[in-house]
Amino acid sequence: MEGGVWGIVIIISAFMIQFLAFGTTATIGVYNMELLEYFPDSTIGVSLIASLNYGIFLGSGPIVSFLMTRFSYRKIAIFGSFLVVLGLLGMPLLPYIPTMCICFGVLAGFGSCCAYIPSHVLSGMYYDKNRSLATGVATSGSGLGGAVMPVVAGLLIEVYSWKGSLIVVAALCLHMFIFSALLRMPDPNLNSKEEDAKDVDEAANKLGQAVTKKKRKGPKSARHVYIFTHYGFNIYFLSNIMWNAACSIVSSFAPEYLRSQGLTSMEAAILLGAFGFGCFVGGVLGGILGNVSWVNRQVLYTLANIFMGCVLIAFPSMGHRDLYLICLLVSGLAFGIILGLLIIVLTDLIGVESLSNGLGYLMLSNGIGTFIGPPLAGILKETTGGFESGIVLAGVLCVCGGLIMLLMPCGDMFNKLCATCCCCCKKPKTQETVSLEGMEFAAC
């Protein structure tokens, strides 16, 4: 069986780590309703707490990727679990916007990133043929966490207030220590040499270069330098900025918008949970569809972005609770498909050998998007007096995130044309060899 018993253990651990990490982050929309009452004149300040958490959680990828070359994945994830718990406990003890930015924004955000990236990378390293399904199942933990944790937080707030509920959420996050302790690197002989050679060839073709027959091991820092020379990766990077900004706006301000439309805080939390449930189903569905040979993963990813954006643009005009529920459920389904395809599309672009570094830099794009999203919506709210324009902005950003992917085929055609012209030259040019870890590329 591909992956073996430890492959299943890693998938379950990654699922639960993402359930807790993303679920805790998703509760910020529920806590924003309480914090806006606690700090009635600080809409932008409250939005900054969420944007810092989102931004550092998803933007610290390069730092964590560098740490993963120096320390074991298990140690990094355990350290991240400690920071998450510490940050959550600091929120009720120091109830001021600057300290909350430090506790929830910096400590909990960076800790979640330290736990998330190692688990997510490992979930893709144990599998080859079923990598899309494996990463899709692991990613669906973020969707289920986004469905369950806001509702749990809403119930806890009613009983213990927002300060007491954070202590209980911190206690739940202690389970991240257990799942982080289960992370371990796969057996290096798990995949055959032929499969490794195939991955290298595919990575080289994506870069528009020829792979030399002889391979030598290069410095680990090389991939950090050359990852942004990949045209397709740069387009994917920009796309991720856009849909992450949209998602952070929805998670942060959709509950408050729903409450302004006459819904109770608990009803708003349940509707936000519907978005998370759709994300859970979409993550599994995206993983399954990404494993089907005749499905073009980039096209599916692009369509999911555009569809999610169109639904969010229409969201403020619904005007009824049931319609709000349907919109959030459907947009969550599309968002889950995006997350389910995130790793496998990245692997298609840069190859499995560069996955750990590529994911780290991709997380940087996610962090940039989630950092700028809530403040932009906060500024629009201060300007217009409502959250409708912020939700519409989220939809527009999602549509743009899908449309920009249409530039990918143009870049592929340009690379093929350049390669053809280079190979057709009468006088061969001096080759410049670029060494990546485990790979050697020869550029014309």
User: pLDDT per residue over 410-442, tens digit each?
Assistant: 766 666 666 677 666 555 544 444 444 444 444
Write down the residue that tokens 């600080």 correspond to.
42
Q: Which amino acid is at 284?
A: V
Secondary structure of 369-418 in HEC code, one letter for each residue = HHHHHHHHHHHHHHHHCCCHHHHHHHHHHHHHHHHHHHHHHHHHHHHHHH
In angstroms, the CA 150 to CA 29 distance is 8
Q: What is the residue extent of each domain of the chain?
A: 4-423+435-443
- What secondary structure does DSSP assign to 340-368, as a single string? HHHHHHHHHHH-GGGHHHHHHHHHHHHHH
pLDDT digit string, tens, across residues 157-214: 888 888 899 999 999 999 999 999 998 887 766 554 444 444 444 544 444 443 333 3
Q: How many CB atoms lie within 10 A of CB 219?
A: 11
Say how far residue 87 (Cα) sits from the centre of its chain: 21
Residue-wise burial string across 26-58, b where 16 or more C-beta atoms lie within 10 A, e elsewhere:
bbbbbbbbbbbeebeeebbbbbbbbbbbbbbbb
DSSP state of 320: S
**Sheet strands side by side (includes 439-443):** 210-211, 439-443, 432-436
Tokens matching residue 308? 């999610």
At residue 418, the pLDDT reads 67
Task: Confirm if 90 and 57 have CB atoms less than 8 A apart.
Answer: no
Query: Contact, 357 vs 233, CB < 8 A?
Result: no
Kindly write down the DSSP assignment for every residue of 279-315, as one continuous string.
Answer: HHHHHHHHHHHHTSTTS-HHHHHHHHHHHHHHHHHHG
Longest dimension (CA), the chain: 79
Q: How confident is the prediction for the chain on average, in pLDDT?
A: 78
Residues 6+ apart with CB under 8 A from 266: 154, 155, 158
Predicted pLDDT at 350: 78
- Tell me 285's DSSP state: H
Ranges of the chain whose pLDDT falls below 70: 1-3, 43, 132, 188-226, 352-353, 355-356, 411-419, 422-444
Is the CB of residue 200 less than 8 Å from the CB of residue 353?
A: yes
In the numeric block, the tokens 């806890």 are attached to 156
Which of 168, 81, 155 has the alpha carbon at shortest distance from 118?
81
Domain 4-423+435-443 has CATH 3.40.630.10: no
Interatomic CA distance for residues 399 and 417, integer angstroms: 29
